[in-house]
Amino acid sequence: EMSKTAQAINEASWQETFKALWISALRLVQRAREPLEGPIPHLDTRLCMLLALIPLAIAAILKEETDACGAEGNKSLPRRLGLVSSLQDLVQYSGLLVPPSSLVNVANAAASKAAIFRANCKVVGGNPSMIGQSDSSTKAVGNMLHLIVEACISRNLIDTTAYLWPGYVVLPGHSKDTSLPQESPWVNFMQGAPLSDPLKNALIATPASSVAELDKLYHIALNGSEQEKSAAAKIVCGA
């Protein structure tokens, strides 16, 4: 109900609404890398939010639409299409998709599963229904998107055609080295760079590291131009 209310208040598309849910949960997972507090590790609870609670909430939203429109042609219903688009859009947020060290092997296994599917799909002429073989030697580089997609597939929110999405499977040697240090977009922001679309997207994908950054963003959200206020408001909600 909260997701539906937020969607209505913000006059957002379902793609934007679902995307906001995924990004918010991914931010939580990234913040779980801070020192543990209390008896329950942050990472476990935040992964539960990302891979269990959000898919269940989306499942309820999609079921409501399917019940209202009937199961016939439910793959082309607006909410389901919005979910697919929101997942495909996550590819651009590479910083948020880096898996915690404890999940690297699981993410790689999920990506390799998709790589095997793609390889077998080519063998049988692009017909997924004929796929039956596997090749355990096929390897791919995985990230949090692969785990999200697997969670959605397990709940029948999407199907295995997701494995065929452009850019979904990245083979070893073709991935960007995320271990190399990269300058934070917040550095450019603090140096006075305007809130252009590329910078806005980069700030959305990168959690703020200091109160000063949030203070400046909050000031722009209150006193900037209408375009700056809109961009700052979107960033500050998750920064």
Residue with tokens 């017909």: 127
Nearest 5°: the CA angle 139, 145, 146 is 35
Q: How far apart are CA 137 and CA 140, in angstroms?
A: 10
Per the CB < 8 A criterion, the answer to whether 150 and 110 are in contact is: yes
What are the tokens at 110? 């999920």
Residue 32 in any domain: the answer is yes
Q: Are residues 133 and 71 in the same domain?
A: yes
Q: Are residues 89 and 140 in the same domain?
A: yes
Q: Are residues 125 and 47 in the same domain?
A: yes
Residue 154 in any domain: the answer is yes
Mean pLDDT in consecutive groups of 10 residues from the start of the chain, 239 residues: 60 84 89 58 86 95 85 72 95 87 92 91 59 58 96 95 91 54 75 87 77 86 88 74
Give the pTM: 0.69
Residue 84 in any domain: the answer is yes
Residue 173 in any domain: the answer is no
Residue 83 in any domain: the answer is yes
- Roughly how many angstroms between the first and final C-alpha of the chain, as a whole number? 24
Residue 109 in any domain: the answer is yes
Q: How far apart are CA 239 and CA 235, in angstroms?
A: 6
Q: Are residues 31 and 120 in the same domain?
A: yes
Count of domains forming the chain? 2
